Amino acid sequence: MSTSPQILIFAAPCLTKAMGAWLEHLKSERRLALKTLDAYERDLRQFCQHLTDYLGHPPRKSDFSDLKPLHMRGYLARRRDAGNGARTLARDLAGIRSFVRFLEKRGEASSAGLTAMRAPRQPATLPKPVKAEEAEQLISLNQQMHEEPWIAARDAAIMTLLYGCGLRISEGLGLTPADFHISDPAKPRASARSLRILGKGGKTRLVPVLPLVNRAIEDYVGKCPYVLKSDQPIFRGMRGGPAQPAVVQRSMRLMRGALGLPKTATPHAMRHSFATHLLGNGGDLRTIQELLGHASLSTTQKYTAVDTDALLKTWNAAHPRA
């Protein structure tokens, strides 16, 4: 989490101190992800800059004691004019609300004015998974796209892991040999039955491991030329350091180009496919929510719309009266 000097320019010292306490609260008690903290800090700093222009002086803590919808509407309009979309504006509002509620709990502000504000309407978007056969093609093509056998095995193992366990890229790249119960990389024997995944916001979940995933990991570890210590990331880059998300994304771009898949075929689409294919084969929505690590069931429910869409397309293609 950064501490920008600009925050000192656009906020009085009393407000700067309160903002620091709020961010520490979000970090230590709410356990928000660092990227979320950075975004909230940046959004609040920009709002303070707006208030500086509006009030004619850097805002003080007392200026937040009773913010009106008028203040927020002017700020959101300014942000919209600068080209920011509905998702960004909603996050702006959420961050400012969080700060004001923090002050309210300390008896230093009222959130009544902001409670009356509605968040900007979000565009309807659905997850874009790849089909089951396309997921298999992406995994198998990995083994043919690289001259280095261990790189090919690594990328195939990562794709198998993302699709087989429904992980985010960062979650997969953070795993170690110990997570797969590999004690001797020279004789790899992956025997993990489940993985303990640390997800967004510090939330931990257990994800079952398919034998197919263990075999892909064994193949990669057996071919990797670097020493893989049990407590260090299992996936390595070309020079031996931890593999970066950009490496996986670049590999996916090459493969989707070779297979003629759309730009929506990303590493994260493998996670979407995991959820959609489970749901399509009778998976329970609550269980899928736990496997994905979603805090809200409404996030997981988006996959029901994706699956319904796929069923309707099949019906339209196959029904003699369609």
Give the residue numbers marked as catalytic: 168, 200, 268, 271, 294, 303
DSSP state of 234: S
Rama region for 127: left / alpha / beta (φ>0; ψ in -120 to 50; rest) = beta
Distance, CA of 48 to CA of 222 (rounded, Å): 55
Which tokens belong to 232?
């260090």
The helix/strand count (H/E) of the chain reads as: 14, 2
186 Cβ partners below 8 Å, 6+ apart? none
What is residue 242's DSSP assignment?
B
Structure tokens at 174: 């953070």
How far, in Å, CA of 167 to CA of 146, rounded?
24
CA-to-CA dists, residue 98 to 17, 36, 55, 65, 88, angstroms: 16, 12, 22, 13, 15
- Alpha-carbon span 114 to 100, nearest angstrom: 9
User: Which residues, other chains included, contact 5 with Cβ-Cβ below 8 Å and sequence gap of 6+?
Assistant: none
The rounded distance, in Å, linking the Cα atoms of 313 and 228 is 46
Output the CA angle 96-99-102, nearest 5 degrees. 150
Amino acid present at 180: F
Angle between helices 69-81 and 34-55 (to 10 degrees): 110
Q: Are 298 and 290 in contact (CB under 8 A)?
A: no
In sequence order, the β-bridge partners of residue 221 are: none
